[in-house]
Structure 1
Amino acid sequence: MTAQPRILVLAGRRSSTLDPLAAKLGVSHKCLVPVRGEAMVGRVLRIADEAFPEAPLFVSVEDFAVIADEPTVKRLHAAGRLTPVEAQHHIVDSVVAASETTGFPLLITTADNVLMTAEGLHAIVAEGVRGDADAIVMLAEREDIMAAHPDGQRRFYKFRGGGYSNCNLFWLRSDRALKATESFRYGGQFAKRKKDAVRALGLTTLFLYLSGLVTIEGMFRHFSRRFRVRLKPLVMRDGRLAIDVDNERTYRVAEEILARDAA
Structure 2
Amino acid sequence: MQTNIIVLAAQRPGTIDPLAIGHDVSHKCLIPIAGEPLIAHVLETLSKHPAVGDICISIEAQAFPDIDVVLAQLDGDTGRIRCVPSTYNLADSVIAALAQMDDGPVIITTADNALLTADAIEAMVQILKGDTDVALALAPKAAVLKAHPDGQRRFYKFSDDQYSNCNLYGLSGHDALTAAEIFRGGGQFAKKAGRIIDSFGLINLLLLRSGWISLPAAMARISKRIGLTITPVVLADGRNAIDVDNDRSYRIVADLLGQTAT
Normalising by structure 1, report the TM-score: 0.91
**Structure 2 Cα separation of the partners of residues 239 and 74 of structure 1:** 26
Alignment of 1:143-182 (within 5 A): 143-182=142-181
CA contact (8 A) 1:176 1:229 kept: no
| Deviation for aligned residue 1:186 | 5.1
Q: CA deviation digits over 1:118-168, x for unaligned, max 9? A: 111112101211x21011111101111011011111111111121111111
- Residue 235 of structure 1 corresponds to 234
CA contact (8 A) 1:186 1:196 kept: no
CA contact (8 A) 1:184 1:200 kept: no
2:28 partner letter: K
- Residue 114 of structure 1 corresponds to 114
| Deviation for aligned residue 1:211 | 2.2
- Residue 256 of structure 2 corresponds to 257
**Structure 1 Cα separation of the partners of residues 76 and 82 of structure 2:** 9
Query: What percent of counterpart residues are identical?
Result: 41
Q: When the two structures are aligned, how many residues end up with a matched partner?
A: 259
2:47 aligned residue (37, 46, 49): 49
Structure-2 change in CA distance of 1:122 and 1:158 (3 Å): same
Runs of 5+ unmatched residues, structure 1: none
| Deviation for aligned residue 1:188 | 5.6
For the pair 1:9 / 2:4, whether they are aligned, the reply is: no
**Structure 1 Cα separation of the partners of residues 202 and 185 of structure 2:** 15
Structure-2 change in CA distance of 1:52 and 1:34 (3 Å): farther
Instruction: Please state whether the residue corresponding to 1:67 is helix, strand or coil.
Output: helix
**Structure 1 Cα separation of the partners of residues 76 and 25 of structure 2:** 22
Normalising by structure 2, report the TM-score: 0.91
| Deviation for aligned residue 1:199 | 3.7
Structure-2 change in CA distance of 1:13 and 1:187 (3 Å): closer
| CA RMSD in angstroms, aligned pairs only | 2.1
| Deviation for aligned residue 1:243 | 0.7
**Structure 2 Cα separation of the partners of residues 241 and 132 of structure 1:** 24
Runs of 5+ unmatched residues, structure 2: none
